[in-house]
C-alpha cells in the first residue's frame, strides 16, 4: 500500500500506473467476456468496417470486432509477458548471483552456458524450443522465459561482482553472517535498482517476442486473439484497413510505455537515498 | 608588484537557483606573480570550487558564478575578467595561462594513451611543437620531474606507473604549457607520505625555477605551511582568515584557524604519545601473531601456472595485550591491511600462527573499515545494520537488543532517532561512528581499525580519535590501529610497528619509535611528514621507489635479524645500513 501511494505521488509513476490500470481493467473485462461484441463472432456484412460508433476500432477481414479482440488479446499477451519475465528474472538472478559469489570455475561454467543461450537470436531460440515441445501458451511462456534468462544473469552478475568487493560484505563476514544472509541482504537488496529497470525492459521485449511468435503462428493459436497475432493479420491489409494495424500497435506501444514509467518510479521509490537527506 | 590574479567578492552557486545555493560566498584575494597562495579548509568549505572558478572549469560541474570578478593579467599584459569571458577565449587561458593538477592522478590521465602521447599533446597545443620536437620536449619534461629512464617511460600507459609517478606526469604536462599560474587541488592527498614529500619538493623547485604563481589547495594546514607564501582559511564558503603564512600560523585571529591548528592531529615527533596503559609483561596477549606470511600467487598463461607470487606479508610477528593500541604504520603496499585482514580471517594466511584468546563473545575480533561510505549497506536502516552482527550470532531482534543499540548509539554520540535512518542521511564522521557502534555490538576484545579516520575531515578525525580512546577505557578494548598517518598514530598508539614491503622493520614503544627512529625507512617516513614547525625546511627530491613485492616461485626471504634499541624497541637489521 505504501508503495502504491508512493507511485501515485511520483510524476511519471502516476502516468505509468494509470496506463497499467486501464490495461488491467481491459484484460479483466476481456477475460470475463464483457466486451462490446463477442471477440470470435464474425459480422460478415461489416468486414473491414472502419472505426465507428458500433465498431470502435473497426473490424478485421472476417468481420470480427477489433475492440473486443484487443481486450481479450491484452490479457493473453500480458499473461505470457508477465509469466515469462517472472521466470527469466528468478532464474537469471539466481544464476547471476551464484556465478558472481562462487566465482572462478562456477562463474566460468554458468556464464558460458548463458553466453551460448545469448548467442542465438531470441526468436530463433524460442522457435527451437517450441519446435521441440509444440506450440501453446505454456510453451511460449517457458520459451520466452529461457530466452531472457541470460540477460538477467548478465545484469545481475556485473553489479554483484562489484558489491561482493564492497567493505560491507567483508564487514558481514567479520560478524559471521551466513552466506544466505549476505546474498540476500547485501547483494540482492542492492540489485533492486538494476533489476527493476531490467524487468520493465524485458516486459516490453517479451511482449514483442510473443507478438513475433504469434506472427509466425507458433504462439497464440487462432482464432484466439493476441496482440502479435492481430498485428500479423493486419499486415496484408495495411493500405485498405490501416486501423487494424494502428490500434494493436498503439496498445503495445502504450503498454510498454506504461511499464517503463512505472519501472522508473519503482526504482526511485525503492531507493532509500531518494527519501530526502537529513541536514 | 602587480597582481597576476585579483579575485573580488567571488560568489558561486550550484543547481537551478544558484543565487540561493551558494557554496562560495564572497571570497576576495590577490595573487602576485611567482607567489603561492595556500587555501586550507575541510570538505564543503568551497576551496575547490573557488579554485575551479578561476579557470571556469566550475561551469562543467554545474556551477554558476553569481557575483564578483576574477581579473587575470594575461601574458601580453592585458587584464581579462574570467567571469565574463566566453568559452573560446577561456580555452586559451586554460593551459597557457592557468595550469591545473588534480587530486587523483589515475583519473586525470587517459588510460588508453601512453603518457608520452599525452605530454606531447600538451606541447602541441600550447607550444605548437610537433613530431620529433614534441617527443624530445616530452622526454625533457619527464626528466625534469625526475622520472627515471624518461625515454623508455614515454611509451608507458598510466596504469604501469605508480601514483606518485602519475602525479609527476601530470606536473610534466603542466610544464609543457608553462603557465604563469598553477592550481594544485589536493595534489598529494591520494599519495603516500614519502611520495607526497617528493611531489611537494618537485613543486617547490619548479615554482622557483619557472617563476610560476601557485594556488595550493589542501585540507592539511601542515602541508600548506611548507609551500605557501600566503594562506587563506576557508569555512562554509567564506574566507575566515587570510594573510602572510607566518602571521596566520603564529598569530591566528579567527577561532576556526585556531581550531584547525590545535584540534587537528599534528605530528610531534613522539612527544604527543599517550601516557596511559603502560605495558605489563605479565598480561597474556589477546592476539599473538607469529611468522605470518600471506602470498598471492600470480597466475599466467593458459594453464594458470604459478609464475611467482606477491609477498604481501612476509614473516610478521607481533602481540597485542588487552587494552592496548598497536599502531601499524606503513605506506600503501606495505602489507599492513593484508596483515590485519589475515587476523580477521578475511584473507587466508599462507603460513604462520594467529592466536586469538577466547574472549567475551564468539567473535572477539571486530573491524572498522576505512571508507564509511562503502562499509555500510546503503539499503538498510541503522537498526538493521546494527542488528546484523547479533543476528549472525543467533540473537533475536528484541527489546533487549534494541536497548543495546540505543546504548551504543549514545556512547558513540549519535542521536536516538538514528535507528530509523539510512546511512546516506549521516555525514562521513557520523557514519564512522555507526561503524564503531556496529563493531561493538558483539562486545569484542579487539577492534581492528583499518585507516578508520583517514577518510574523515581533519577536525572530525580528532573527535573520532578521542571517542576511540574513551571507548577503549570504557570497554577495555585492544586496538590494532592501521594507518599511514603518523600524526594520527602518534595520538592513539601505545606501541608502533612500522611495516615496509611486507615486513615489520621496527616495532616498540610509540614514544621510542617516533622520537628515536632507528631503521632508515622509519627515519625517511618521519622526515616526510609535513609539520608546521618544520615549515622552513626544504625537502630534497628523493625518487626512491618501493621495491616490487613480486617474487619468483619458491623464493624465501632470509630470516630476520633483530637488534634491541632499548626497552621494548626492536629494529630489523638492514643489509647495508
Q: Concatenate the DSSP letters of all residues of B496-548 into one string.
A: EEEEETTEEEEEEEHHHHHHS--SHHHHHHHHHS--STTTT--PPP----PPP
Question: Is A175–B370 a contact, with Cβ atoms under 8 angstroms apart?
Answer: no
Give the cell for residue A189: 537488496
Q: Looking at the predicted structure, is the pLDDT value of residue B401 above 80?
A: yes
- In contact, B36 and B229? CB cutoff 8 Å: yes
Give the Å distances, CA to CA, from B61 to A152, B53, B92, B217, B250: 34, 10, 20, 18, 37
| Residue A83 binned pLDDT confidence (cut-offs 50, 70, 90) | very high
Q: Do B389 and A190 touch (CB under 8 A)?
A: no
Distances (CA, A) of A267 to A6, A191, A192, A264, B106: 11, 10, 7, 5, 32
| Ranges for all domains in chain B classified under CATH 3.40.50.300 | 3-263, 287-357+445-572
Distances (CA, A) of A33 to A27, A40, A62, A71, A263: 10, 11, 20, 9, 30
CA B219 to chain centre: 10
pLDDT at A99 over 90: yes
Q: What band does A276 get if pLDDT is binned at 50, 70 and 90?
A: very low
The answer to whether residues B512 and B501 touch, using CB atoms and an 8 Å cutoff, is no
Residues 411-450 of B with CB under 8 A from A: 421-422, 424-426, 435, 438, 442
- A278: confidence class by pLDDT, cuts 50, 70, 90: very low
CA pair distance B435, B340, nearest whole angstrom: 17
- Answer whether A104 touches B (CB < 8 Å): no
Domain count, chain A: 1
Task: Categorize the per-residue pLDDT at A1 as very low, low, confident or very high, splitting at 50, 70 and 90.
Answer: low
Mean pLDDT of chain B: 84
**Section B366-390 average pLDDT:** 89
Whether B557 has a pLDDT exceeding 60, the answer reads: yes
pLDDT for the residue numbered A94: 95
Is A167 part of a structural domain of the chain? yes
Is the CB of B369 inside 8 Å of chain A's CB atoms? yes
Task: Report whether pLDDT(A157) > 90.
Answer: yes
CATH topology classification for B3-263 = Rossmann fold (3.40.50)
Name chain A contacts of B420, Cβ cutoff 8 Å: none
Is it the case that residue B547 has pLDDT exceeding 80? no
pLDDT digits (tens, 9 = 90+) for A194-238: 898 889 888 888 888 887 888 787 877 777 788 878 887 888 888
Q: Which helix (H) or strand (E) holds B195?
A: helix B193-210
- Does a structural domain hold residue A279? no
Q: What is the distance in angstroms between the CA of the first residue and the CA of the last residue of chain B?
A: 50
Stretch B431-458: mean pLDDT, rounded?
89
Contacts of B545-551 spanning 24+ positions with Cβ under 8 A? B545/B162, B546/B162, B546/B331, B546/B333, B546/B334, B546/B501, B547/B501, B549/B310, B549/B311, B549/B312, B549/B333, B549/B335, B549/B501, B549/B502, B550/B298, B550/B308, B550/B309, B550/B310, B550/B311, B551/B308, B551/B309, B551/B310, B551/B311
Task: Provide CATH code, domain B287-357+445-572.
Answer: 3.40.50.300
Domain ranges, residue A112: 2-274
Please give the average per-residue pLDDT across A28-55, as a whole number.
82
What ipTM describes this predicted complex? Answer: 0.77
- The mean-pLDDT minimum among A52-56, A163-167, A242-246 falls in A52-56
Q: Is B487 in CB contact (< 8 Å) with chain A?
A: no
Give the mean model confidence (pLDDT) for residues A241-247: 87
CA dist B549 and A245 (Å) reads 69
Q: Which of A131-140, B305-314, B406-415 has the lowest mean pLDDT?
A: B305-314
Query: Which residue does chain A place closest to B370, by CA atoms?
Result: A167
User: CA separation (Å) from A53 to A36, A49, A50?
Assistant: 11, 11, 10
pLDDT at A277 over 60: no
Distance of CA B400 to the CA centre of its chain: 40
A45 domain residue, yes or no:
yes
Q: Is the pLDDT of residue A68 over 60?
A: yes
The residue whose grid cell reads 576505512 is: B370
Q: Euclidean distance between the first and final Cα of chain A, in Å?
A: 28
With an 8 Å Cβ cutoff, are B379 and A272 in contact?
A: yes
For B55-139, strand residue ranges (E) read 63-73, 79-81, 98-101
- The DSSP bridge pattern shows strands B287-300 and B238-244 to be unpaired
The mean of the pLDDT values for chain A is 85
Q: What residue of A is the nearest CA neighbor of B420? A: A272
**pLDDT for B546 beyond 70:** no
% of residues, chain A, pLDDT over 70:
97
More confident of the two residues B189 and B547 = B189
pLDDT over threshold 50, residue A188: yes
Mark yes or no for CB contact A171/B375 under 8 Å.
Answer: yes
Look up residue B60 and give its DSSP letter: G
What is the distance between the alpha carbons of residues B378 and B386, in angstroms, rounded to a whole number? Answer: 13
Q: Which chain A residues are within 8 Å of B366, Cβ to Cβ?
A: 174-175
Closest partner residue to A272 among B366, B371, B424, by Cβ?
Answer: B424
- Residue of A167, A182, A184 to mutate when probing chain B, most B C-beta within 10 A: A167
Query: Is the CB of B380 inside 8 Å of chain A's CB atoms?
Result: yes
**Cell numbers of A22, please?**
486501464
**Model confidence at A125: pLDDT above 90:** no
Q: How far is CA A159 from the centre of its chain?
A: 22
Residue B346 banded pLDDT, cuts 50, 70, 90: confident
**Does B317 have pLDDT greater than 60?**
yes
Question: Domain of A107: which CATH number?
Answer: 1.10.3720.10
Which 8-state DSSP code applies to residue A50? P
DSSP-derived letter for residue B557 is: P
Beta-sheet pairing, B562-564 with B569-572? antiparallel
Which range among B60-74, B278-292, B488-502 shows the weakest confidence by mean pLDDT? Answer: B278-292
d(CA A151, CA A141): 16
Cα within 13 Å of Cα(A142), Cβ side: 12
What's the pLDDT band for B208 if we cut at 50, 70, 90?
A: confident
State the pLDDT at residue A149.
94
Cα-Cα-Cα-Cα dihedral sign, residues A115, A121, A122, A123: negative
**What is the spatial distance between Cα B429 and Cα A166, in angstroms, rounded to a whole number?**
19
Amino acid at each position: 500500500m505504501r508503495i502504491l501511494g508512493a507511485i501515485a505521488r511520483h510524476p511519471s509513476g502516476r502516468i505509468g500506473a494509470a496506463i497499467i490500470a486501464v490495461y488491467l481493467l481491459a484484460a479483466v473485462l476481456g477475460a470475463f467476456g464483457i466486451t462490446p461484441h463477442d471477440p470470435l463472432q464474425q459480422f460478415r456484412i461489416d468486414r473491414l468496417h472502419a472505426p465507428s460508433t458500433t465498431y470502435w476500432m473497426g473490424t478485421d477481414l472476417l468481420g470480427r470486432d477489433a475492440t473486443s479482440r484487443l481486450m481479450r488479446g491484452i490479457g493473453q499477451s500480458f499473461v505470457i509477458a508477465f509469466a515469462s519475465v517472472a521466470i527469466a528474472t528468478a532464474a537469471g538472478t539466481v544464476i547471476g548471483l551464484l556465478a558472481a559469489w562462487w566465482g572462478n570455475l562456477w562463474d566460468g561454467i554458468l556464464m558460458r552456458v548463458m553466453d551460448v543461450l545469448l548467442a542465438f537470436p531470441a526468436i530463433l531460440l524460442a522457435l527451437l524450443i517450441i519446435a521441440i515441445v509444440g506450440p501453446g501458451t505454456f510453451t511460449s511462456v517457458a520459451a520466452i522465459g529461457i530466452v531472457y534468462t541470460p540477460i538477467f544473469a548478465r545484469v545481475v552478475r556485473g553489479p554483484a561482482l562489484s558489491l561482493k568487493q564492497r567493505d560491507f560484505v567483508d564487514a558481514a563476514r567479520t560478524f559471521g553472517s551466513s552466506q544466505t544472509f549476505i546474498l540476500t541482504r547485501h547483494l540482492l537488496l542492492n540489485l533492486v535498482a538494476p533489476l527493476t529497470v531490467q524487468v520493465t525492459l524485458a516486459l516490453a521485449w517479451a511482449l514483442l517476442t510473443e507478438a513475433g511468435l504469434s506472427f509466425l503462428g507458433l504462439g497464440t493459436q487462432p482464432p484466439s486473439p493476441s496482440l502479435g497475432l492481430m498485428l500479423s493479420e493486419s499486415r496484408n491489409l495495411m493500405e485498405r484497413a490501416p486501423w487494424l494495424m494502428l490500434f494493436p500497435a498503439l496498445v503495445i506501444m502504450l503498454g510498454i510505455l506504461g511499464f517503463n514509467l512505472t519501472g522508473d518510479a519503482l526504482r526511485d521509490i525503492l531507493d532509500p537515498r531518494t527519501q530526502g537527506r537529513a541536514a | 608588484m602587480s597582481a597576476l590574479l585579483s579575485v573580488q567578492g567571488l560568489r558561486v552557486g550550484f543547481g537551478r537557483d544558484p543565487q540561493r545555493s551558494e557554496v562560495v560566498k564572497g571570497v576576495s584575494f590577490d595573487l602576485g606573480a611567482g607567489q603561492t597562495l595556500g587555501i586550507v579548509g575541510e570538505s564543503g568549505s568551497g576551496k575547490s570550487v573557488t579554485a575551479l572558478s578561476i579557470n571556469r572549469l566550475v561551469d562543467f560541474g554545474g556551477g554558476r558564478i553569481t557575483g564578483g570578478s576574477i581579473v587575470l593579467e594575461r601574458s601580453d599584459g592585458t587584464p581579462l575578467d574570467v567571469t565574463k569571458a566566453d568559452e573560446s577565449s577561456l580555452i586559451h587561458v586554460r593551459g597557457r595561462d592557468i595550469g591545473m593538477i588534480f587530486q587523483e592522478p589515475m583519473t586525470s590521465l587517459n588510460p588508453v594513451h601512453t603518457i608520452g602521447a599525452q605530454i606531447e599533446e600538451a606541447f602541441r597545443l600550447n607550444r605548437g611543437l610537433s613530431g620529433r620536437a614534441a617527443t624530445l620536449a616530452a622526454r625533457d619534461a619527464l626528466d625534469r620531474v625526475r622520472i627515471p629512464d624518461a625515454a623508455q617511460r614515454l611509451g608507458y600507459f598510466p596504469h604501469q606507473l605508480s601514483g606518485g609517478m602519475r602525479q609527476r606526469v601530470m606536473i610534466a604536462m603542466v610544464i609543457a604549457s608553462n603557465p604563469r599560474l598553477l592550481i594544485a587541488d589536493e595534489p598529494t592527498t591520494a599519495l603516500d607520505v614519502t611520495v607526497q614529500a617528493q611531489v611537494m619538493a618537485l613543486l617547490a623547485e619548479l615554482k622557483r625555477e619557472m617563476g610560476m604563481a601557485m594556488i595550493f589547495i589542501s585540507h592539511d594546514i601542515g602541508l600548506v605551511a611548507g609551500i605557501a607564501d600566503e594562506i587563506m582559511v576557508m569555512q562554509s564558503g567564506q574566507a575566515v582568515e587570510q594573510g602572510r603564512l607566518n602571521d596566520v600560523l603564529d598569530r591566528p585571529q579567527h577561532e576556526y584557524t585556531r581550531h584547525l591548528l590545535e584540534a587537528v592531529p599534528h605530528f610531534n615527533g613522539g612527544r604527543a604519545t599517550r601516557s596511559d596503559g603502560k605495558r605489563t609483561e605479565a598480561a597474556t596477549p589477546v592476539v599473538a601473531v607469529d611468522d605470518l606470511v600471506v602470498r598471492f600467487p600470480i597466475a599466467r598463461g593458459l594453464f594458470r601456472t604459478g609464475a611467482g607470487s606477491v609477498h604481501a606479508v612476509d614473516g610478521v610477528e607481533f602481540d597485542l595485550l588487552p587494552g592496548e593500541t598497536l599502531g601499524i604504520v606503513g605506506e600503501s603496499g606495505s602489507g599492513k591491511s593484508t596483515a590485519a585482514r589475515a587476523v580477521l580471517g578475511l584473507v587466508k594466511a599462507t603460513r604462520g600462527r594467529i592466536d586469538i584468546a577466547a574472549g567475551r563473545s564468539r567473535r572477539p575480533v571486530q573491524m572498522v573499515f576505512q571508507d564509511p561510505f562503502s562499509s555500510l549497506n546503503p539499503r538498510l536502516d541503522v537498526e538493521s545494520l546494527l542488528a546484523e552482527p547479533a543476528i549472525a550470532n543467533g540473537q533475536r531482534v528484541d527489546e533487549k537488543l534494541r536497548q543495546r543499540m540505543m546504548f551504543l548509539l549514545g556512547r558513540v554520540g549519535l542521536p536516538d532517532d538514528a535507528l530509523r535512518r539510512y546511512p546516506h542521511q549521516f555525514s562521513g564522521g557520523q557514519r564512522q561512528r555507526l561503524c564503531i557502534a556496529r563493531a561493538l555490538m558483539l562486545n569484542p576484545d579487539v577492534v581492528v581499525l583499518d585507516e578508520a579516520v583517514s577518510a574523515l575531515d581533519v577536525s572530525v578525525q580528532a573527535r573520532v580519535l578521542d571517542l576511540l580512546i574513551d571507548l577503549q577505557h570504557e570497554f577495555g578494548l585492544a586496538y590494532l590501529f592501521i594507518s599511514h598517518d603518523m600524526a594520527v598514530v602518534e595520538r592513539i598508539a601505545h606501541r608502533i610497528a612500522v611495516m615496509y614491503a611486507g615486513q615489520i622493520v621496527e616495532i616498540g614503544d610509540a614514544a621510542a619509535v617516533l622520537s628515536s627512529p632507528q631503521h632508515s625507512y622509519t627515519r625517511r617516513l618521519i622526515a616526510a611528514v609535513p609539520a608546521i614547525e618544520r615549515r622552513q625546511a626544504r625537502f630534497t627530491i628523493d625518487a626512491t621507489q618501493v621495491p616490487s613485492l613480486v617474487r619468483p616461485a619458491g623464493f624465501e626471504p632470509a630470516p630476520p635479524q633483530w637488534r634491541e634499541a632499548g626497552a621494548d624497541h626492536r629494529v630489523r637489521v638492514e643489509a647495508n645500513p
